[in-house]
Amino acid sequence: MSVFAKIISREIPGDIVYETDEVIAFRDTNPKAPTHILVVPKKPIARINDASAEDARLIGTVLLTAAEIARKLGIDRSGYRLVINNGRDGGESVPHLHVHLLGGRALSWPPG
């Protein structure tokens, strides 16, 4: 069971900022920006490469949820970044699909 699944099931605490029946969002414990929220589908999909066509609506919900949270936190006006890591070389550290919502400062390009 991934650390995200344990947060979803409340086995371990998380600083939850948003939750529905399908999605949960919480603050990253090792933030890379002033605002660093993880938006996670509750359905256990290991990574974007493992998603199927039947997951398309859920993935859309995850992305739209990130945009809604950005608006609520006021970072939509200055800008923000959404990141999905896939695999070791892509920076994936937790095998549960999630979107990083990063903002609150200017973000450089290209990323690390």
| Ordered per-residue pLDDT tens for the chain, 112 residues | 899 999 999 999 999 999 999 999 999 999 999 999 999 999 999 999 999 999 999 999 999 999 999 999 999 999 999 999 999 999 999 999 999 999 999 999 988 6
The whole-number pLDDT of residue 13 equals 96
109 assigned to some structural domain: no
Write down the pLDDT at residue 45.
Answer: 97
**Residue 66 belongs to domain spanning:** 3-103
Q: Is residue 20 part of a domain?
A: yes
Looking up residue 65, the CATH number of its domain turns out to be: 3.30.428.10
61-65, Cβ contacts within 8 angstroms, sequence gap of 24 or more: 61/22, 61/23, 62/23, 62/97, 62/98, 62/99, 63/99, 65/18, 65/20, 65/23, 65/25, 65/39
> Which residues, at least 6 apart from 4, have a Cβ–Cβ distance to it below 8 Å?
38, 40, 94, 96, 98
Q: Is residue 110 part of a domain?
A: no
* Catalytic residue ranges: 98
Look up residue 3 and give its amino acid. Answer: V
**Residue 108: inside a domain:** no
Q: Domain count of the chain? A: 1
